[in-house]
Chains A and B, each alone.
Chain A
Amino acid sequence: MSSGQKKRNFQIEAFKHKVVVDPKYAEKTWKVLEHAIHEIYNHNASGLSFEELYRNAYNMVLHKYGEKLYSGLVSTMTFHLQTMSKSIEAAHGGSFLEELNSKWSDHNKALQMIRDILMYMDRTFIPSTRKTPVHELGLNLWRDNVVHSDKIQTRLLNTILELILRERTGEVINRGLMRNIIKMLMDLGASVYQEDFEKPFLDVSADFYRVESQEFIECSDCGDYLKKAERRLNEEIERVSHYLDVKSEAKITNVVEKEMIANHMLGLVHMENSGLVKMLLDDKFEDLGRMYNLFRRVPNGLSTIRDVMTSHIRDTGKQLVTDPEKSKNPVEFVECLLEKRDKYDKIISLAFGNDKTFQNALNSSFEYFINLNPRSPEYISLFVDDKLRKGLKGVKEEDIELILDKVMMLFRYLQEKDVFEKYYKQHLAKRLLSGKTVSDDAERSLIVKLKTECGYQFTSKLEGMFTDMKTSQDTMQGFYATYGAELANGPTLVVQVLTTGSWPTQSSVTCNLPSEMLALCEKFRSYYLGTHTGRRLSWQTNMGTADLRATFGNGQKYELNVSTYQMCVLMLFNGADSLSYREIEQATEIPSSDLKRCLQSLACVKGKNVLRKEPMSKDIVEDDGFSVNDKFTSKLRKVKIGTVVAQKESEPEKQETRQRVEEDRKPQIEAAIVRIMKSRRVLDHNNIIAEVTKQLQSRFLANPGEIKKRIESLIERDFLERDNADRRLYRYLA
């Protein structure tokens, strides 16, 4: 090249001569491929050259004969599939599925090879012409020519369903084969699987279980039925895992749940002698657990169980609290309640998985029936009294806490907590004054629990009682420190000074103390008032106790623990051999009903009859005569005759307490009304009632009629007024 010439880019020029493609060439090439396909389907593929076939296919596509190739493929494959189809149709009975499976397997292998050979067409011609790719084409052709062929489609479905039915009735079937067949349907596409198998499967299953459940229900009891249902459910789940599409699991389990459980729910629950109620009564934890697990799968299943359980608890609870037999013994009454609660706690935890909604149902049921008996608050207090007096003797601290917690749980159910408070105070007072409490710690622990539950107000007075006891101890120490020497030879006095507001109100009663005590008591009074000016003391003779050393005519000596009243009576006999009731009454001035009870306990109780009564009857009349029983004996040196134990109240006492409670409620209601009106200023009638009731809920259930009366009283006293325009509206008057 000379330097003067133009520069030229280096070029490669295209091949100059064209390759002329002979149409006959295309036909020839196709024939090669067609032959190969035949050989493949005839299991003769080993003699073929992959490389050559691939090249042929490549060339056809390259020279724009893709269409011919494709349509040739379709017709050749179709031809073979139709042959296969006939062979499958001809199969007898059991070998039908096997033949189908085997041909399917063959087709898949063939398809694989064909796809590899035709890969170039798959990647170029097919996408550009938007035709179905080879593999998918192969599946579609299979579907159309084999699975959906007239003679095969129905027979296939029926065969599968027949096998499943046989398996359900206990036979063993070829699961591997089933898996392959089902997988074939899945491979053919979701709609094939669903239309050709799943939908009919679900329908047939529904029919099957409908019939079976009907049979079972008629001949099994509830527990057995549930076992069977559970078994069937598990079977179906297992079946799916072995040879069905995993997506079918939810659908088939729905069918079983609906047919076996949902449709028979009420029948099962209410089944005579074996239904839910019987299971609850007999603590059949396993059966109940099974029922819970099965029913929770169906809509309203759990709520059905819950409702039946609730009404059962309410009914049995109502029976329990209104049973007059049970009401005779308060401690037993409460123990039955606790037992019941424990029983259902156990059921809920073992069988119902601690389901919160069931817990709530239990709580609301208890709340309902406990309050049906207006004496429940009193009885619960008596139960506590019994436990704190002797029931908890020797019990470990953790166990004490457990019992107290259980008591608190019952307490929470009470609507009339203020009634409980009244009784608790009374009983506590008796325990403290007689020194009969088993554990001071237990007492205080319960007070703390009550305080946590109800607030400071509830327990402040109770705590005051404890303080008084402590203070009195200190006072006594001071008293004896001052006068100890003087009083060494006389009777020993122990005084508890009770602050009026904290202790249950008692009316003061008359009682003449024996002279030996009178002087001593007066000495104490002046000592106390000396250090506490401005206070007033009054002796509560109906609450005290005394220890007397008695020597009887037969020479026996005993130490008698008696009430103050009893002491006054007995001391009279130091000065007289026999006395009439009238004389005793005059001398002691004890009120007659108390005096009669006192004399009865001294003269009419076996083993404690330190006095003799003439005549020997149980009733006390004016002219009865009393004298010391010189023949009195007892196994114990110390004889307890006092009557200060807390008891179930008599009818008139109960009325009185109830009245006092009602009286106490009035100012509480008024305070609530004033509080609410002060902040709201103007409020209508219904809303006031609602708000007041809500505010007082934690103490008691306020009666709307009573609230109304209080409102009127407040109107009278110019705290409130009615609105001029709307007579239902109340206005706060500042």
Chain B
Amino acid sequence: MNKLGRGQRDKVQQFMSITGASEKVAVQALKASDWQFEGAFDIFYSHSHVKSAADTRHLEELYNRYKDPYADMILVDGITLLCNDLQVDPQDIVMLVVSWHMKAATMCEFSKQEFITGLQSLGIDSMDKLKERIPFMRSELKDEQKFREIYNYAFGWAKEKGQKSLALDTAIGMWQLLFAEKQWPLVDHWCQFLQARHNKAISRDTWSQLLEFARIVDPALSNYDPEGAWPYLIDEFVDYLTEHGIIQKGKLSDWSYKL
């Protein structure tokens, strides 16, 4: 540690607090990735004792702790318990990330397969280890590529089984959660617009294209291209914004989002 500069030392501290790794491991990983966090995390987790540390028996025990008494899956009560153990709010968005890692098909339930295989792939076999991993998972939301994957995953996860589209209320809830992380100034207007004008379920295409819209088009719509192959609903949203004077001549006049 003595040979490192101040900035590097800070990074090592951060790395350790996020991953729970030892100083030596932290320094190694960071050096190998040229002092970039992302690379360092990847190295750490891929080298970490993935298969060997995860003991299947432990996992079975864990599963049984949360499993529903009447069905061979973890349902709402089990999940609440799980969240308590993790000291995480069930509404916390990090639970979405957890589900994503586990490739859970639907929200509020984990099948046995999903739970066990998911934890195995993370190299986790105890709640403590999972709790340690939580901060890292939170940081994954900051990664643009991963956020997109999680966002798109969320559609399938949040919708009803057997339905093609996502119910509007659920969608709005998800958006508010997700865009709290990603910071899109127009999210509230979007939700208001949908409730006032659309009142129908959201299609997958609209869902995924909305993220692109939030990413590409700036909140004042100065670079919005009407011929830009945006879904019809988004075009209507732009019209709605102009009609209500929220966007005027490429300026966002409603600054409430800043508050």
Contacts and interface: CB of A to CB of B under 8 A. Distances in A.
A143 B16 CA distance: 112
A716 B229 contact: no
Interface string A693-718: 00000000000010011001001100
Given A705-B235, A727-B212, A712 B203 contact: yes
Interface in B206-222: 206, 208-209, 212
Contact of B227 (A686, A715, A716): A686
A705 B232 contact: yes
B227 A727 contact: no
A712 B232 contact: yes
A interface, size bucket: 10 to 19
Interface in B121-178: 164-165
Given A705-B232, A728-B228, A716 B203 contact: yes
A716 B228 contact: no
Nearest to B228: A728
Contacts of A712: 203, 205-206, 231-232
A684 B227 CA distance: 11
A150 B183 CA distance: 96
Nearest to A708: B232
B229 A715 contact: no
Nearest to B229: A685
A685 B205 CA distance: 15
B229 A728 contact: yes
A716 B235 CA distance: 18
Contacts of A709: 232
A712 B206 CA distance: 9
A728 B235 CA distance: 14
B204 interface: yes
Question: Which interface class (under 10, 10 to 19, 20 to 34, 35 or more) fits B?
Answer: 10 to 19
Interface in A640-699: 684-686
Interface in B228-243: 228-229, 231-232, 235
B167 to A, nearest CB: 15
Interface string B179-205: 000000000000000000000000111
A412 interface: no
A722 B205 CA distance: 8
B235 to A, nearest CB: 7
Contacts of A686: 227, 229
B29 to A, nearest CB: 31
Contact of B209 (A684, A705, A716, A727): A727
Interface in A377-421: none
Contacts of B232: 705, 708-709, 712
B236 to A, nearest CB: 9
Contacts of A684: 229
Contacts of B203: 712, 715-716
A638 B204 CA distance: 67
Given A705-B235, A716-B164, A727 B229 contact: yes
Contacts of B231: 708, 712
B164 A685 contact: no
Nearest to A709: B232
A705 B165 CA distance: 21
B205 A715 contact: yes
Contacts of A685: 227-229
Contacts of B209: 722, 727
Most buried by A among B203, B205, B228, B235: B205
Nearest to A713: B203
A686 to B, nearest CB: 6
25 contacts: A685-B227, A685-B229, A686-B227, A686-B229, A705-B232, A705-B235, A708-B229, A708-B231, A708-B232, A709-B232, A712-B206, A712-B231, A712-B232, A715-B203, A715-B205, A716-B164, A716-B165, A716-B203, A716-B204, A722-B209, A727-B209, A727-B212, A727-B229, A728-B228, A728-B229
Closest 8 CB pairs of A and B: A685-B229, A728-B229, A715-B205, A709-B232, A708-B232, A716-B203, A712-B231, A727-B212
